[in-house]
Chains A and B, each alone.
Chain A
Amino acid sequence: MTKRLHRFKGGVDLDYHKAESAGVPIRSAPLPPRLIVPLRQNARSVAHGIVTAGEHVLKGQRIGEAEGVLGTAVHAPTSGTVIEVTEHPMAHPSGLDTHCVVIEPDGDERWVALEPLDHRSIDRQSALNRLREAGVVGLGGAAFPSHVKLGSGTGVDTVVINGAECEPWITCDDRLMRERADQILAGAAILSDLIGAKRVLVGIEDNKPEAIAAMRAAAAAQAAPIEIVAIPTVYPAGGEKQLIRVLTGIEIPHGRLGTDFGVQCFNVGTAAAVHRAFALGEPLVSRIVTLAGNVERPGNYEVLIGTPVASLLELAEPRADTDRYILGGPMMGFALPDLSVPVIKGTNCVLSASPTLFPRSKPPLPCIRCGECARACPAELQPFELYWFAHSRNFGKAQEYHLFDCIECGCCSYVCPSHIPLVDYYRYAKSEIWARERETRAADGARERFEFRNFRQEREKAEKAAKLAAKAAETKAKLAQTETAPAPAPTEAAPQSEDDAKRALIAAALERAKQQKAAAKPKNTEDLSAATLAEIAEIEARRKALGLSEGDAGDVRPALPTLPGPTTAATPPAPPGGDPEPLAREDRP
């Protein structure tokens, strides 16, 4: 146990407030009256719903099928009846709606038939599929599908299990390690097998001595080469890259995967879920959630996925002066726009915030370039430079200064003596850059479609011309046949010029039009009453008097009304919808 640890630069010391919720054992949250299970499980994939309203489901029954590379299955968290499949706000800062299955529990908690499986008895691909079908995703917060993380793995020799839990207030991993260390280690062993690793390192911050002791005791009983490592308590030691750095010395740059460096990282909760998916055959339908902050009864609860946050909060009894609820920790979480949102697989904590506990930030002062942020940045960036570039919307320069290496841990904002919301600027700059890239892509797409349209129109024109030429030739031939002797073709019939063909065509068309005109009758002129007929006659008479012939009567339009005032006259009317590119719009699929 004398492992040489590495360090990452930066980081901050915080008031961790772990004791409030870490002392109480995990309790099961009671069944809420309704469970709202989102089919969307991460930013890039939505499961395909396979249940309809009125259907009865069992606990663990699949209600959403995995779709796409990043897809995982979704399961009913308890037995009950599907009330509806509807749009419901999700636990996301945007508060946007997503497809959700609403289940009314029947209170029986009746499981589907579970099929435990030994991962060693099947091939790797089947084992990964089991995780996909069991809906196992990263429980550390990002909810990235575990089978995808494992799937890319060859040449990985180290599995890092993340028990650092560096965010203040959150203790769900701490309690899990204290109470279910054997499950975590069994899961870690499976993960290690599946990825072909030689060793497992479990990193736990040294402010959790009970968890370290429990994990060490469980590790001692295991045959697998699992090492429990106490790491210094520095926020954000639980960041994946920071933890890998501390335990192995490897630095994974932005945009690269751990597997490229022979290391892959999983949260302790994920490891436990992997164990349950195999040993018990249980899909992931619940997780541990910390309730803490400005509450009377902080603690950790085993919560069914889909439990509305509002009904969960009742268990902790938030105090009267609570003004906001934060999902996640105070450093990286977000204030919930709506308490009806359900707990999802990445939800680790619901914090009740009060103005005294989490004071609103003071008005920012100018940056004095003191460099505190640079000293605190675990990504070793120069945050004040990035701030400057983001502030002046110089996004290219911000990217040059590695904006996208920022992990948004919040250390810079935390230490800034000028109270500048630095991370907000980086989030803003990133989203602006993404939006621009999307725009560029859309513009490229539009240009391509436009160019293809032009090409298509040219082609169609050519085809039409060819068709016309053929038809003209035919007509000409026909004409030549009917007017044989009396009117021979006016000399040189042999080389049919294109002009002749056209002329013939025009003549034929004119003839057709004449016939049509003769055949067509003016509409609305039948069955008119005598009075109406008289009226019409009167009007015609007036017209004649005015000197208008029948033909150009239709061309007389009322003069455009004079636009009032110079301002409106100067502005051309905007096209409907304000779309400056009608062509591009028309060509949109």
Chain B
Amino acid sequence: MIQSPYIRKPASVQRVMFTVLLALTPGIAAYVWQVGAGILVNLAIASATAVAAEALVRRLRGRPIAPAIGDLSALVTAWLVVLCFPPIVPWWVTVVAVTLAIAAVKHLYGGLGQNPFNPAMVAYCAMIVAFPSLMSQWPPAGGLDFATQLDLILGGARNLDAITGATALDALRTGLRGAESVDAILRQPPFGTLGGRGWEWIAAGYLAGGLLLLALRVITWHMPVAFLATLAATAGAFWLANPAQFASPLFHLASGGAMLAAFFIVTDPVSGATTPLGKIIFAAGIGLIAYLIRAFGAFPEGIAFAVLLMNLCVPLIDMKTQPRVFGHRRGKSP
């Protein structure tokens, strides 16, 4: 029996996942700096929930628990769930969402590597449909101190108007409904130079982490570039057609979860397309659908729904975009 190769690159799933967690830290740091340390509490709650859910389900499935916890993939899911959610969401929302992501979305389909849908995005969509108001309460950057955030997370009474403002995307949507022009809206308090005030820095942090992932070859350029380019191009087309009614491409790139999605969510290898061309189609599809939902849909942020819709198309995309193999290029063989 041949068992070569006898040497292995020092690579592991654990190392991949750890790199992803590491790449999230600039964004998280910016989050803490701009919005407050409440996010750290949520991250801790989510991490503990993820590990517990993973262990529980592995036990129910009769599989060894240690390697599954050790691969850190549950932590990545947990962190992404938290980073998509409002930072002052009550603790039980986080617990329910992470449990749903790990136990149902990941393990009901067979565990690591088997899930057709992005667990964090399913969790987000489920929660925003189930608890629309809790999932829409975003504090303005620097608007709440840590004690208030902690109190809210732990289930304190919510005096909504006092503590939360609309996000940039939300404000834009509401403003446009009120027939104000984009320019007028963008001069209002939630808005900074590019997108939501303060949130721009967080987006920059995600961008930095994403570039790290690219440099370390954990992800390839195809998905972030295709996603951001399509989002920008679609936004740009509408903006050029009617600047009073549609926000600029830069606003869309810097707002909501665009940067987080581009480098950390769209790029999920398990539920995404795998061929080079397939990755581009997949990510471009997300960019397009996300914009359409943002501009015309019922939700301010459409990335999560776009990701799930494109997850559905992955088998088809992969099947139709198989690259030519060595020696089988068209027009090359005599």
A binding-site residues for B, Cβ under 8 Å: 8-9, 12, 14-15, 93, 168, 241, 245, 251-254, 256, 260-261, 326, 328, 330-335, 353, 358-359, 361-363, 365-372, 374-375, 378-382, 384-385, 401-402, 405, 410, 413-419, 421, 423-424, 427
Contact = CB atoms under 8 A, between A and B. Distances in A.
Contact of B4 (A15, A385, A418, A423): A423
B11 interface: yes
A93 B274 contact: no
B123 to A, nearest CB: 19
Contacts of A326: 4, 6
B113 A366 contact: yes
Contact of A365 (B7, B67, B318, B325): B67
Contacts of A374: 274-275
A254 B71 CA distance: 38
Given A256-B333, A365-B13, A368-B112, A251 B4 contact: no
A353 B6 contact: yes
A378 B269 contact: no
A289 to B, nearest CB: 18
Given A335-B3, A415-B9, A368 B15 contact: no
Contact of B11 (A358, A375, A415): A415
A366 B333 contact: no
A358 B7 contact: yes
A262 to B, nearest CB: 9
A417 B15 contact: yes
A234 to B, nearest CB: 14
Nearest to A370: B269
Given A370-B16, A402-B325, A405-B327, A413 B5 contact: yes
Given A365-B113, A371-B220, 10 more contacts: A93-B1, A254-B327, A335-B6, A362-B12, A365-B67, A365-B112, A375-B220, A410-B4, A414-B8, A417-B13
A417 B322 contact: no
A8 B324 CA distance: 13
Interface in B284-334: 318, 322-329, 332-334
A331 B5 contact: yes
A368 B16 contact: yes
B114 interface: yes
Contacts of A261: 334
Interface of B: 1-9, 11-13, 15-16, 67, 71, 73, 111-114, 218, 220, 269-270, 272, 274-275, 318, 322-329, 332-334
16 contacts: A253-B326, A261-B334, A326-B6, A335-B6, A353-B6, A365-B13, A368-B269, A369-B113, A369-B270, A369-B274, A413-B4, A414-B5, A416-B11, A419-B8, A421-B3, A423-B5
B326 A382 contact: no
Nearest to B222: A371
Q: Identify the 10 closest CB pairs spanning chains A and B, nearest first.
A: A253-B327, A410-B5, A366-B113, A417-B11, A358-B6, A251-B327, A330-B6, A334-B2, A379-B326, A331-B5
Of B4, B13, B272, chain A has the most CB atoms within 10 Å of the CB of: B4
Given A330-B5, A368-B112, A368-B269, A380 B324 contact: yes
Contacts of B328: 253, 402, 405
A369 B73 CA distance: 13
Contact of B113 (A368, A416, A421): A368
A245 B327 CA distance: 10
Contact of B327 (A14, A252, A368): A252
A437 to B, nearest CB: 20
B8 A366 contact: no
A365 B3 contact: no
B112 A366 contact: yes
Contacts of A402: 325, 328
A418 B326 contact: no
A369 B269 contact: yes
Nearest to B328: A253
Nearest to B73: A368
Of A256, A330, A366, chain B has the most CB atoms within 10 Å of the CB of: A366
A422 to B, nearest CB: 10
A439 B173 CA distance: 67
B18 to A, nearest CB: 11
Contacts of A252: 327
Nearest to A363: B67
B193 to A, nearest CB: 36
B112 A256 contact: no
A331 B8 CA distance: 9
Contact of B2 (A93, A366, A372): A93
B2 A253 contact: no
Contacts of A330: 4-7
Contacts of A353: 6
Contacts of B5: 330-332, 410, 413-414, 423
B326 A371 contact: no
A427 B2 CA distance: 9
A366 B326 contact: no
Of B3, B111, B218, B274, chain A has the most CB atoms within 10 Å of the CB of: B3
Nearest to B16: A417
Nearest to A9: B326
Contacts of A384: 274
A419 B3 CA distance: 13
A367 B71 CA distance: 12
Contacts of B73: 368
Nearest to A92: B2
Contacts of A367: 113
Contacts of A375: 220
A245 B332 CA distance: 12
Nearest to A365: B13
A417 B327 contact: no
Contacts of B13: 365, 368, 417-418
B228 to A, nearest CB: 20
A405 B326 contact: yes
Contacts of B8: 359, 361, 413-414, 416, 419
A132 B3 CA distance: 33
A416 B73 CA distance: 16
B322 A382 contact: yes
A504 B272 CA distance: 87
A365 B71 contact: yes
A181 B329 CA distance: 37
Of B1, B67, B332, chain A has the most CB atoms within 10 Å of the CB of: B1
Given A334-B4, A382-B322, A414-B7, A256 B274 contact: no
A380 B332 CA distance: 15
A417 to B, nearest CB: 4
B274 A371 contact: yes
Nearest to A368: B113
Contact of B326 (A334, A368, A380): A380
